[in-house]
Chain A
Amino acid sequence: MKTDQDLIELFQEAAAEIVGRTFEGITPNTEIGELGIDSVDLLEIFGFVEDELHIKLADADLAEVTTLHDLGELIRRS
């Protein structure tokens, strides 16, 4: 997980699997809350990302994530 672009691709893969949509055209500045994904699906997507990258994201840290870039930063720190 080097760049935000890698994350976007992974996020799209997870979203396709979990909510059946790929969210074409999302950017690092896209606010995750704007994507219209409910909180359970969103947690599932983060679980998918954790599995793929073999990392563990703390729930308390996730609460502070707004954009995909923020998520990328969190992953790079994890």
Chain B
Amino acid sequence: MGERKNFGLVRDAKGPTVPHAVAEYEFREDEGFKFVRMDDTEAFYSFKDLVREMKNRAKHLTNMGLKKGDHVAFIIPEPEDFVLTFLGAMAAGIVPVPMYPPLSFGKLDAYIDASARIIEASKSRVLLTDNRVQNILWSLIDKVDCLKRIETVDSLKKPLDGPLPEVVDLAHDDLAFLQFTSGSTSHPKGVVVTHGSLLANLDGIMNVGLKIDDDDRAVSWLPLYHDMGLIGFMLAPAWYGVPTTYLPPTTFVKHPTRWMETISNEKGTISFAPNFAYALATRRTKPEKVAALDLRQLKALGCGAEPNHPDTLNAFVEHFAPAGLRPEALLPCYGMAEATLAITFIDLAEPLKVDRVDADQYQATKVASAATDDGNVLEFVSCGRPFPGHEVLVLGEDGQPVAERHVGEIVFRGPSVTPGYYEVPDKTAESFRAEGLFTGDLGYFADGELYVTGRKKDVIILNGRNYDPQSIEWLAQEIDGIRKGNVVAFSVPSARTEELVVVAEIRAGSDVDALKKEVARAIRDGLGLAPSDVALVAAGQLPKTSSGKLQRAKTREQYMSGELGKEGERTHGAQADKVTLAKHVAKSAVSRVKHNVKSAVFSRLARDE
């Protein structure tokens, strides 16, 4: 590993802020950010160019009448435009609200509605977009009261005459940006990221987690509207002056080989992605391609934002070993937007650490004790430890810390914890408490390292994106024949990542097959998601509390054990249900670790029957 001199410039939790830090790199003309565009052409900006672009765009934005503290929505698909404009906004003290661009093949109506809700919740006055996308976004002006203008990034590119402005003064409690955690909810929540929480987290990530040195180079295809890409691969390298290469997210998904290829070509040392991307890269990179790659220099391949599956990560390490990938390069971590980004990292020098626990005991007692030779086994990946100055607690139902290897709710405290959600006091009070940030995730400590085991909150994470179950359930219950308020959506582990399952009660005499198709179609049209199973059950089958509230976790448990699906099968007797049931019994939490390629192929074939 090289040394960290960074030209004598200090970067820590005290500062400088990201735009001030960028401005200090004006002397660096050889290294910078390289953008692979969506049409595969490339653009390179040295750090000196970045400073000029940042200030030029800041001046354009100010000329538009925007000022420090104004909120501006960003729907900018091209990474080059996104990064330069984001830095420009920050330099002027303007608060960006990054939003996801329209999905290919998604239904536009649902996209526009979700975008309208975010713009409204964020109180953005201006929407910045590009020439192509603006054509479909204009209806937002009529839908959202606070939105006054839509501007394209092209209007920010022209070099301006006269001196460029200096970066405005920024205090640690000034807003840096608003991070909306999910576009799919009916009441979107924007996490308030201040310069102070951002600096505290960047300090931990770069100085402690990644131990950045002068030889480091980052490569990323992560979406920039999502915290891991935005903070980890735009703000962190901009702050620390790390040369970075960007690929559009869709380029990676279409051509998964490009990720490792780019790392090989650019001599990348750092890259991050959610679990599903490791499965994709393994599956789609042919062995002869692997042999042509050089991944020896890779020191940190972070995996987070999604539950980490040991099988997926181990398969990746094995698949890319011929390219010189070192097992210790894999770096599981844990975090969330409410904590700015990172909560824990494993030590850079350590390989993947998998804890094998006794599954039966775990399920019965919520204690993760070491697996025995003959019993069922659950495997969890270590997510490491928090950064200095931060603390992670695991609390029991009574609010007291639980013993080692006992499962409880993960609570995080320290300067990286954000102030809360923008103007949503009740949700803020729920999660941001005196004891710290209640993450809604469950986990345990073993030998001082954190293992994240599941979620307390009913959040569904699919392909790295958060969905709240209600938004999926609402779509299903609008259908005639489905009993309103009696739909439960959840995810189950699959070989690759997580799959969506919907269980709904139906009215007697309904056409089961037709209803299944309709439910799947409504979810696809509304959110662009394809459920792996829609299980329809008779009235009264879904587990409820004594007060009549649906019990999602229990529904999921019953479904996975076959209890709920069996009932459905007996009621309706469809052959397809039996096969589906067999598939999901095979996928129960216990057998999750025993998954191999064969079972994945089997479940896929089964689905078609």
Q: Which residues of A contact B (CB under 8 A)?
A: 19-21, 32-34, 36-40, 42-44, 46-47, 50-51, 56, 58-60, 62-63, 65
Contact = CB atoms under 8 A, between A and B. Distances in A.
B601 interface: yes
Nearest to B497: A40
B38 interface: yes
Contacts of B276: 40
A21 B604 contact: yes
Contact of A37 (B102, B133, B530): B530
Contacts of A51: 255
Interface in B248-267: 248, 250, 253-256
Interface of B: 38-40, 77, 102-106, 108, 132-133, 248, 250, 253-256, 276, 280, 284, 462-463, 520-521, 524-525, 528-530, 601, 604-605, 607-608
Contacts of A59: 38, 77, 104, 248, 250
A57 to B, nearest CB: 9
Nearest to B283: A18
A39 B256 CA distance: 15
A50 B520 CA distance: 28
Contacts of B521: 34
Nearest to B255: A47
| Max chain A Cβ within 10 angstroms of own Cβ: one of B40, B103, B248, B253 | B253
Contacts of A44: 253-254, 256, 280, 284
Given A20-B604, A20-B605, A65-B105, A43 B250 contact: yes
A18 B104 CA distance: 18
Nearest to A23: B608
Nearest to A24: B608
Nearest to B136: A63
Contact of A62 (B105, B462, B605, B607): B105
A38 B250 contact: no
Nearest to A63: B104
A77 B90 CA distance: 41
Contacts of B520: 36
14 contacts: A19-B604, A20-B605, A21-B607, A33-B525, A34-B521, A36-B520, A38-B530, A40-B253, A40-B276, A42-B104, A58-B39, A59-B250, A60-B132, A63-B104
Contacts of A38: 462-463, 528-530
B304 to A, nearest CB: 18
Given A21-B604, A44-B280, A59-B77, A39 B254 contact: no
A47 B38 contact: no
Nearest to A50: B254
Nearest to A22: B608
Contact of B463 (A20, A34, A40, A47): A40
| Max chain B Cβ within 10 angstroms of own Cβ: one of A34, A40, A50 | A40
Contacts of A56: 39-40
Contacts of A43: 104, 250, 253-254
Contacts of B608: 20-21
B253 A47 contact: yes
Nearest to A40: B463
Contact of B105 (A19, A21, A36, A39): A39
A48 B207 CA distance: 40
Nearest to B40: A56
| Max chain B Cβ within 10 angstroms of own Cβ: one of A39, A46, A47 | A39
Contacts of B39: 56, 58
Contacts of A46: 254
B364 to A, nearest CB: 35
A68 to B, nearest CB: 13
Nearest to A37: B530
Contacts of B132: 60
Contact of A32 (B105, B133, B253, B525): B105
Contacts of B133: 60
Contacts of A63: 102-106, 108
Nearest to A46: B254
